[in-house]
Amino acid sequence: MRKLISLITLLLIAVVVNAQQKKISGTVTTKDSKPLQGVTVQNGNTLTVTDAAGAYSIEAKPGDKIAFSFSGMKSIVLAVSSALENTAVKMEEDSQSLDDVVVVGYTTERKKDLKGAVTIVKMGDALKETNANLVTSLQGRVPGLEISTDGAPGSGVSINLRGLGSFNNNTPPLFIIDGVPTYDFNGLSPNDIESLQVLKDAASAAIYGARGSSGVIVITTKKGKSRNAQVSLDAFYGTKTRRRTLDMLNAQQYGDVLWQGFKNDGVTPGDPVYGNGATPVIPAFIDAPNNTTPSANTNWQKEVFQPAANMAVNLGVSKAADKSSFYFGANYNKEEGLAKNTFYDRLTLRMNAAFKVGNRITIGENLSIGYLQGNRENEGRALEAAVIQLPIIPLKDNLGNWAGPFNSLGDFRNPLGDLTRYKDNISKGYRVFGNVYTDIEILPGLVYHGAIAVDITKSGLKFFNGRYVMGRFSSNDNSLSQTENSITNLTATHTLNYSLKKGMHDLNVLAGYEWIHNKSYSINATARSFFLETPDYQYLGAGTPTGNGGGGDEYGLIGQFGKINYGYDNRYLFSASIRRDGSSRFGENNRYGVFPALSAAWRISDERFFAGSKLAASISDLKFRVSWGQNGNDNIRNYNYATFFAPSIDYANYDIFGLNNVTNWTNSSGFAVSSIGNESTKWEAVTQTNIGFDIGLFNNRLYITADYYVKKSSDLLYQAQLPAVVGEGVRPFINVGNIKNSGLEMLISYKGKTKGKLNYNVDLAFTSNNNKVLSVGLDGKDIQYPGQHIIQQGLSISEFYGYINDGIFQNQAEVDNAPAQDGKGIGRLRFRDISGIDGKPDGKIDAADRTSLGSPLAKVSMGLNLNVSYSNFDAGLFFDSKLGNKIWDQSKIATDFLGYTANHGVGLLNAWSPTNTGSSIPALSNNNANFDKQNSSYFISSGSFVRLKSAVIGFSLPKAILDRVKISKLRIFIQAQNIWTITEFNGYNIEPLNASLGSLGVSSLTDYPHSKAITFGLNVGF
């Protein structure tokens, strides 16, 4: 195979032909004769860009067609005649940039020729927001793309395209960055992006085969365009604050509710700290008899959280010449966390360059180097402790140590103490991502493209845990653990692309081959008992070694693919593609999957009968699209096919000799099953049909793209729930179930202009999705999670599951008349008897009474962008909204119930009592005899919201002033984020990350909720 390819390449290279050429030059301007810089001027594979004066120069021969294209302008094609030498071109504004060329599946297409569902994101708009994270800036702009983020520094993100169609919903879309496939978009600066396309339907994504089922996001980074060096500088600085603070009890209130709880349980109140009196008494010290830790009334949220600064600086430099172009980008981004001492830093450098060697060969590279560091260690626990640590515990004791719990004061650590103690435990990593490629025009229209991509990530963490005292937690010893991880991803891509334009016919044929190899390893080591704790001493060799570990992983994928595009007179457009992929994750007999796709479009607006009709006056563009295709998913663990045993000092060894202190376990090392394999597991398949239309009205001022899709996922890969009798070992992924997603997506944009200088755009992204489980589990009926979710035939995926809570028992008669329920009583939650073994109410509350309690999935989500510019001012508002989803407010366990020793919400002061029967919070109780906290609708709340996510106002300095200082652009802006939300939900985190089906829509205290932010920024161009 390899030899053959080499041979063919050499043959192709030999066919390098020269032809008679002449130079054509001229200028490109707007209608009102303003020079246009950066216009792409293309003659076949020769490409150049206009400079600041709009000037260009390109080689051509008579009969060639030179194309002029520029984002936001209608393209112009110029036929070269022998007379043509100096040509001025005037370009007209195009509201919808239909002639923009976009990258879709190894080839490029004009936006107007798209047959599938592809959303093109205008990065310029997205960048008006000050999001340092690429994906965050896509939020609400792409119908069908649901993005959830959290407020963590270097935000956590979950992305989902067109509904949950897999049990592995943590499979992100496949990102194709300059042709290189990856799931990891970390370290990519949004400012380096030239264009971004989201391929949503199967036909568009099928060419990416095995990995396209979650959709594909194609990203092209910036290239040099202009003959004059272009420099842009963008910077912002802002502050984030917590959006919501939970109102928690103070030290006295905590004692009061505790006492009331004891009394309600018929138990004599008493507590080692609050005493045994009739009322709780706050003692002077909480650590009797030592008396070094005074009692306090600490507001932990106030102590732990801070207004967090965040900033970014981006520099972009680009330049193009006749036969070369380059782009250099530098980006520095620093985000502080809301929790003290947490932060995230990112520095990325990018260098893209391309050269023409002769007339037919282009050689180029895209390379980015990212350096990432951050301290997010322990933050989950610190976030939780910040809310529910007991207020009676002070920050520090009288000896200067961090204070912590004593006696009955629970198990939560001092969150500020840990955040401070661990502040220098910073994880660091770098990533080198890029490719080298060559394009060779073998014959006119026939182009070979070959690329090798590397994606190398190295990351590590040195975690030092010093000696400390923190209440009843303390350590007289210290330890250092160090971890190093390495991931190397190699991708080789070869494609041959033949395009032919003849008369009305437009043909493009592609054949390709892709080879992906991923290798990773990790090393970790621990040492303890360090003599000193200074940073200079924190090296493993300086301590007593206690353990080493490490592991490795490998994955391979090979794909072969082909695609045919045919267009007739821009009116009839067809496309067919097929891909065959092999993945190392499946057993030998199920390794390969084949993924076909078909699509077609009809541009009715170009038909003669249409042009002659009345409609043509208002409808400037109308196209119908239909597509069908299949994708796969192999995103399961490696070696899923194999059962294997692993040695583990942790769980398989035994001191068989009875020696008490064995350090060399060689003779008593055990092996136990670490993984159960399944050889018959095969690809998860997604079959999707898409119909849609694009319509442009009023000279394309109003443009609507609408799609309806039906997406069926079958042979879903699911980590089997095996009974305990099968024994241990990570459960294999098996194929079970079918899920259907169907939905409607619309992108409506309107570009308006008043007679004055006011321009305005309105963009609405509308998504509605209907998810339905057709069959699931080994018997096709259901899968239950140990948590609060169920996947059941006929419901949507992963609905909440539990008892229906019918309020609170108000009196003894209600209790007596209610069905049998363990621990029922006045003031306790009352659960509904809905079924017994025969499906009818049976007079007792048991497992059969659990039922679906609603879906965490939104029925409808929307994003609305309003942009206005007037003279030198611009303003933007961005609303987003989710409707119809439910949230499981897990934090109620802490805020609404006594029990596990931790602080509670102030709502408990108003809990149910015989004299306060209106309360929705059940009577205080220290025992859980009634299982009030079991999964029930008590924890469910509507998750619908409408939110003003961002508002921005900018001012650009007038050109007259700028000209004097030789600056082409200077804009300053101020932006506010997350400032206004309408919702019924009053919990902590309205937007839980969809990390897994078992935690879908669960808001918990360990979440990092959204923050409000105010940001100032600057955009400068030279």
Q: Rule CB under 8 A: which of 435-464 touch other proteins?
A: 436-438, 440, 450-452
Contact 238, 310 (CB under 8 A): yes
DSSP 403: P
Q: For residue 887, what are its two tokens?
A: 């949230």
Evaluate the omega torsion of the peptide bond into residue 153 and state whether it is cis, within 30 degrees of 0. no
β-sheet bridge partners, residue 594: 580
By the rule CB under 8 A, 18 interacts with other proteins: no
Round to whole Å and give the CA distance between 994 and 1009: 14
Instruction: Report helix, strand or coil for 1002.
Output: strand
Q: For residue 822, what are its two tokens?
A: 């363990």
By the rule CB under 8 A, 129 interacts with other proteins: no
Q: Shortest distance, CB of residue 721 to other proteins, whole angstroms?
A: 5
Q: For residue 666, what are its two tokens?
A: 């060689």
- Side-chain-side CA neighbours of 699 within 13 Å: the count stands at 9
Q: Shortest distance, CB of residue 588 to other proteins, whole angstroms?
A: 8
Q: Which of 20, 82, 534, 661 binds other proteins (CB under 8 A)?
A: 661
Q: Shortest distance, CB of residue 974 to other proteins, whole angstroms?
A: 45
Contact 137, 193 (CB under 8 A): no
By the rule CB under 8 A, 277 interacts with other proteins: no
Q: For residue 578, what are its two tokens?
A: 């097929």
Instruction: Report helix, strand or coil for 48.
Output: strand
CA dihedral 993, 995, 998, 1001 (to 10 degrees): 10
Contact 554, 182 (CB under 8 A): no
Q: Shortest distance, CB of residue 14 to other proteins, whole angstroms?
A: 8
Contact 882, 861 (CB under 8 A): yes
CB atoms within 10 A of CB 866: 15
Of residues 945 through 1004, those in contact with other proteins by CB under 8 A are none
Q: What H or E segment, with its residue span, contains residue 203? A: helix 202-205
Of residues 586 through 605, those in contact with other proteins by CB under 8 A are 591
Instruction: Report helix, strand or coil for 256.
Output: helix
Contact 118, 197 (CB under 8 A): yes
Pick the closer one to other proteins by CB: 279 or 475: 475
Kindly indicate which of the ranges 60-68, 119-127, 489-497, 605-613 contains the residues binding other proteins, using the contact rule CB under 8 A. 489-497
Q: What are phi and psi of 154, to 5 degrees?
A: 70, 40
Pick the closer one to other proteins by CB: 408 or 983: 408
Q: Which of 526, 577, 599, 630 binds other proteins (CB under 8 A)?
A: 526
Pick the closer one to other proteins by CB: 84 or 363: 363
Place of tokens 């194999």: 642
What's the Cα-to-Cα distance from 24 to each of 80, 272, 506, 838, rounded to whole Å? 9, 92, 26, 85
Of residues 207 through 236, those in contact with other proteins by CB under 8 A are none
By the rule CB under 8 A, 19 interacts with other proteins: no
Q: Shortest distance, CB of residue 1007 to other proteins, whole angstroms?
A: 19
Round to whole Å and give the CA distance between 882 and 896: 26
Q: Which of 85, 533, 822, 963 binds other proteins (CB under 8 A)?
A: 822
Of residues 406 through 425, those in contact with other proteins by CB under 8 A are 406-408, 410-411
Q: Shortest distance, CB of residue 717 to other proteins, whole angstroms?
A: 16
Q: Which amino acid is at 160?
A: N
Q: Which of 160, 232, 633, 675 binds other proteins (CB under 8 A)?
A: 675
- CA 847 vs. chain centroid, Å, equals 36
Q: Which of 927, 942, 983, 1006 binds other proteins (CB under 8 A)?
A: 927
Q: Which of 85, 92, 247, 477 binds other proteins (CB under 8 A)?
A: 477
Of residues 78 through 97, those in contact with other proteins by CB under 8 A are none
Pick the closer one to other proteins by CB: 79 or 778: 778
Pick the closer one to other proteins by CB: 521 or 708: 521
Q: Shortest distance, CB of residue 994 to other proteins, whole angstroms?
A: 19
Contact 588, 611 (CB under 8 A): no
By the rule CB under 8 A, 45 interacts with other proteins: no
By the rule CB under 8 A, 820 interacts with other proteins: no
Q: Shortest distance, CB of residue 534 to other proteins, whole angstroms?
A: 21
The count of residues interacting with other proteins (CB under 8 A) is: 130
Sign of the Cα torsion 439, 442, 447, 453 reads negative
By the rule CB under 8 A, 291 interacts with other proteins: no
Q: Which of 794, 823, 914, 958 binds other proteins (CB under 8 A)?
A: 823
Q: Which of 83, 617, 725, 965 binds other proteins (CB under 8 A)?
A: 725
By the rule CB under 8 A, 839 interacts with other proteins: no
Contact 773, 712 (CB under 8 A): no
Of residues 844 through 903, those in contact with other proteins by CB under 8 A are 847, 898-901
Q: What is the largest CA-CA distance in the chain?
A: 106
Q: Shortest distance, CB of residue 325 to other proteins, whole angstroms?
A: 17
What's the Cα-to-Cα distance from 195 to each of 100, 225, 947, 1021, rounded to whole Å? 10, 14, 27, 19
β-sheet bridge partners, residue 402: 396, 470
By the rule CB under 8 A, 77 interacts with other proteins: no
Q: Shortest distance, CB of residue 933 to other proteins, whole angstroms?
A: 8
Q: Shortest distance, CB of residue 681 to other proteins, whole angstroms?
A: 13
By the rule CB under 8 A, 938 interacts with other proteins: no
Kindly indicate which of the ranges 192-200, 219-227, 309-317, 476-484 contains the residues binding other proteins, using the contact rule CB under 8 A. 476-484
Round to whole Å and give the CA distance between 888 and 268: 35
Q: For residue 269, what are its two tokens?
A: 């109140």
Pick the closer one to other proteins by CB: 499 or 638: 638
By the rule CB under 8 A, 815 interacts with other proteins: no
Of residues 771 through 800, those in contact with other proteins by CB under 8 A are 778-779, 784, 786
Q: Shortest distance, CB of residue 979 to other proteins, whole angstroms?
A: 38
Q: Which of 425, 479, 605, 950 binds other proteins (CB under 8 A)?
A: 479
Pick the closer one to other proteins by CB: 549 or 907: 549
By the rule CB under 8 A, 281 interacts with other proteins: no
By the rule CB under 8 A, 17 interacts with other proteins: no
Sign of the Cα torsion 211, 215, 218, 219 reads negative
Q: Which of 285, 371, 430, 513 binds other proteins (CB under 8 A)?
A: 513
Of residues 248 through 267, those in contact with other proteins by CB under 8 A are 265-267
Contact 598, 629 (CB under 8 A): yes
Q: Shortest distance, CB of residue 33 to other proteins, whole angstroms?
A: 42
**994: nearest Cα among 855, 793, 874, 840:** 855
Q: Which amino acid is at 263?
A: K
β-sheet bridge partners, residue 527: 480, 545
CB within 8 A of 302, min separation 6: which ones? none
CB atoms within 10 A of CB 129: 23
Pick the closer one to other proteins by CB: 547 or 914: 547
Q: Which of 928, 942, 981, 1006 binds other proteins (CB under 8 A)?
A: 928
**295: nearest Cα among 471, 468, 415, 420:** 471
Of residues 326 through 365, those in contact with other proteins by CB under 8 A are 357-358, 361, 363
Round to whole Å and give the CA distance between 603 and 610: 10
Q: Which of 353, 600, 730, 818 binds other proteins (CB under 8 A)?
A: 730
Pick the closer one to other proteins by CB: 186 or 435: 435
Site string for other proteins, 537-566 (x = CB under 8 A): --------xxx-xxxxxxxxxx--------
Place of tokens 């009053």: 986
Kindly indicate which of the ranges 319-327, 387-395, 567-575, 640-648 contains the residues binding other proteins, using the contact rule CB under 8 A. 640-648
Q: Shortest distance, CB of residue 700 to other proteins, whole angstroms?
A: 41
